[in-house]
């Protein structure tokens, strides 16, 4: 039953998850490597180089917590770190622990097949290599499969065009250019705000506006950084006790026990506070009760009206189809002020749908617009997209893509039955998609590592979760999801993506766990202390 494999463990992806996972495995003496499709490490922070790309988690809550040395040595320069600084940080961590020596770049995994007789996984890479491993751990990410719209003529455009995820490494000339941005999610909002004053003209094609509130970024001085360093234990303890993995805590005074003036007082304060305070330090009722959410949405709509000079444009920027923070909330820096500029034009793609892309620009139902550059900020096939790009076959050649066609099914977001010895950091139905990412993935990485230690100690070469465990977790995921008003919204939290077949409106995918960090942590700890009862191990 035992085969000689090239490696005991292969980690797929050298992003935030893969970096921490390889650190733990190699510290423990596992024969492990990371395979990365890109030419360098960083994952999301390697890829997303568009102007304006930055954290919306406070930088010092986003960094790894595992190394006192890293915490002592690294200075976060801004409260919300921009992409280049974050990429430098990940390189700093990898170099400090010599992790690059375990990473193979330009090594994209094309297929992963479970070979039952040999109890190993066989991986085919697109560079032609074939490698075998006893265990495989996916760190492929939740937002790593960009999706483009399907307009006729996209290949005919003679200017430059790309998805924000593929923003080129070399500088992109913006000065004097006529630029289009399609999409107004978190990415579109960041890129629009960052380039509006650099281009000749900017035309934003908006299909559905998003609620968005100020990021309130600022620099972090040496002195402030010293205070943060002294508080790190407290910071991480706070994050692990909050539902979303941030320091912000919900206001539990009771929405209806306060007066409207008192609620407005809190919201006015939160609007000036940094990061996700506006949602995470808000009244929990706004996420569960229509009336409470409506009052909050009205408050934010008023702020938009105050900031946008043209009332007709302001109305177009106010979402009417969903309530505040019932989709993933983007955070902005001077976003609404962009629409007060003479060189910026908002096209409502509902009133004036895009017909096609032409050689010179974009043809809508009403007009033709000439452009030099088209930026697609059109989002991702979230959470399961990365898995579906790889031909993953488990027991008896079962296809993972087919298994998850209707709904992804996993046990705790960490493993899925009939795919033995395969684990997922930030997998479907985990919490990484719905919380401060590193706070979530540390839990997953450590849980998986503990299980591999157990397997090594006991000599187990096959670990497979039972479908009963999966069924139980699926039910918990559904219950947590259905409590929230966001259950009705059309964003990637509910699996919606108009550019992917089968992900259109009307069919919810329960692919993220919304029960919060503390209950998730308790749940996975319990699974370990009760002896991994849903795992068949031999
Ligand atoms: P997104 O939230 O899915 O937004 C995609 C946008 O493109 C939406 O406005 C969508 O409109 C529009 N769109 C898609 N297809 C279109 C089409 N065919 N025609 C016209 N418009 C189209 O994607 P995203 O902005 O890339 O953000 C995804 C996630 O990445 C975020 O929610 C966040 O979790 C993460 N992110 C994080 C940060 C950060 O940490 N600071 C920054 C950026 C992104 P509809 O709404 O009508 O579908």
DSSP string covering 215-274, please?
A: ----B--HHHHHHHHHHHHHHHHHHHHSTTSSS-----S-GGGS-HHHHHHHHHHHHHS-
Selection from 54, 6, 13 nearest residue 332 by Cα: 54
CA dist 229 → 69, 221, 237, 284, 381 (Å): 11, 12, 14, 30, 37
Q: List residues near ligand 1 (CB under 6 A).
A: 54-56, 143, 149, 182-188, 190, 205, 207-208, 328, 349, 377-380, 492, 498-499
Reference 501, options 137, 205, 147; nearest CA is: 147
Closest among 44, 50, 35 to 15, alpha carbons compared: 44
Rounded average pLDDT over 27-36: 98
Per-residue pLDDT tens for 112-127? Answer: 999 999 999 999 999 9
354 CA: nearest ligand 1 atom: 19
Tell me the per-residue pLDDT of 156-168, one tens digit each, with 9 for 90 and over: 999 999 999 999 9
Q: What is the mean pLDDT of residues 325-349?
A: 97
Predicted confidence (pLDDT) at residue 1 exceeds the cutoff of 70: no
Is residue 31 scored above 70 in pLDDT?
yes
- pLDDT range class, residue 2, cuts 50, 70, 90: low
Mean pLDDT over residues 190-211, rounded? 98
Write out pLDDT tens, residues 205-219: 999 999 999 999 999
Residue tagged 């059109």 (tokens): 378
Could you read off the pLDDT of 473-487 as tens digits, one per residue?
999 999 999 999 999
**DSSP code for 163:** E
Cβ proximity of 240 and 271 under 8 Å: no
Substitution candidate for ligand 1 out of 207, 210, 431 with most atoms within 8 A of CB: 207
Sign of CA dihedral 176, 178, 182, 183: positive
Ligand 1 pocket mutation, candidates 15, 62, 147, 185, criterion most atoms within 8 A of CB = 185
- Predicted confidence band at 107 (pLDDT cuts at 50, 70, 90)? very high
Residue 362 CB partners (closer than 8 Å, separation 6+): 180, 203, 205, 354, 356, 368, 369, 371, 374
3-state SS, residue 145: coil
Nearest to 379 by CA among 185, 209, 194, 212: 185
pTM of the shown model: 0.97
* 89: phi then psi, degrees, rounded to nearest 5: -60, -45
User: Distances in Å between the alpha carbon of 261 and those of 89, 145, 265, 284, 358?
Assistant: 43, 44, 6, 18, 52
């Amino acid at each position: 039953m035992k085969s000689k494999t090239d490696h005991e463990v292969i980690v797929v992806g050298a992003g935030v998850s893969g970096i921490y996972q390889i650190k733990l495995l190699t510290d423990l003496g596992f024969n492990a490597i990371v395979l990365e499709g890109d030419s360098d490490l960083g994952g999301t922070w390697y890829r997303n180089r568009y102007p304006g790309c930055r954290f919306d988690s406070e930088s010092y809550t986003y960094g790894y917590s595992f190394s006192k040395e890293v915490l002592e040595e690294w200075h976060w320069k801004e409260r919300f770190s921009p992409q280049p600084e974050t990429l430098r940080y990940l390189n700093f961590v990898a170099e400090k622990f010599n992790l690059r020596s375990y990473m193979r770049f330009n090594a994209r995994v094309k297929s992963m097949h479970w070979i039952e007789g040999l109890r190993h996984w066989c991986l085919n890479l697109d560079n032609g290599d074939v490698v075998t491993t006893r265990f495989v751990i996916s760190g492929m990410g939740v937002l790593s499969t960009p999706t483009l719209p399907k307009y006729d003529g996209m290949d005919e455009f003679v200017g430059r065009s790309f998805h924000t995820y593929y923003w080129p490494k070399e500088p992109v000339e913006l000065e004097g250019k006529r630029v289009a941005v399609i999409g107004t999610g978190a990415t579109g909002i960041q890129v629009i705000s960052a380039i509006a004053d650099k281009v000749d003209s900017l035309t934003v094609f908006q299909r559905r506006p998003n609620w968005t509130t100020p990021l309130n970024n600022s620099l972090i001085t040496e002195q402030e950084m010293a205070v943060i360093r002294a508080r790190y234990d407290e910071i991480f303890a706070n994050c692990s006790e909050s539902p979303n993995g941030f320091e912000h805590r919900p206001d539990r005074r009771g929405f209806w026990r306060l007066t409207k003036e008192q609620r407005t007082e809190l919201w006015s304060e939160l609007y000036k506070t940094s990061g996700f305070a506006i949602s995470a330090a808000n009244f929990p009722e706004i996420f569960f009760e229509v009336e409470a959410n409506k009052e909050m949405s009205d408050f934010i709509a008023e702020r938009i009206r105050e900031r946008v000079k043209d009332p007709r444009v302001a109305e177009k920027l106010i979402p009417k189809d969903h309530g505040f923070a019932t989709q993933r909330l983007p955070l902005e820096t001077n976003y609404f002020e962009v629409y007060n500029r003479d060189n910026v034009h908002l096209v409502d793609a509902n009133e004036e749908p895009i017909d096609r892309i032409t050689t010179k620009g974009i043809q809508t139902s009403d007009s033709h617009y000439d452009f030099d550059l088209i930026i697609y900020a059109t989002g991702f096939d979230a959470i399961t997209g990365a898995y579906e790009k790889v031909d993953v076959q488990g027991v008896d050649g079962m296809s993972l893509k087919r298994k998850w066609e209707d709904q992804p099914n996993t046990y705790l977001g960490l493993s899925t039955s009939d795919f033995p010895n395969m684990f997922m950091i930030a997998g479907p139905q985990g919490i990484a998609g719905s919380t401060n990412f590193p706070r979530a993935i540390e839990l997953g990485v450590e849980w998986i590592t503990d299980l591999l230690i157990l397997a090594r100690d006991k000599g187990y070469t096959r670990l497979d979760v039972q479908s009963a465990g999966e069924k139980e977790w699926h039910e918990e995921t559904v219950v947590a999801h259905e409590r929230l008003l966001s259950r009705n919204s059309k964003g990637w939290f509910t699996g919606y993506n108009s550019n992917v077949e089968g992900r259109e409106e009307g069919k919810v995918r329960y692919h993220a766990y919304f029960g919060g960090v503390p209950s998730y942590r308790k749940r996975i700890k319990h699974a370990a202390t009760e002896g991994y009862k849903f795992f068949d191990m031999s």
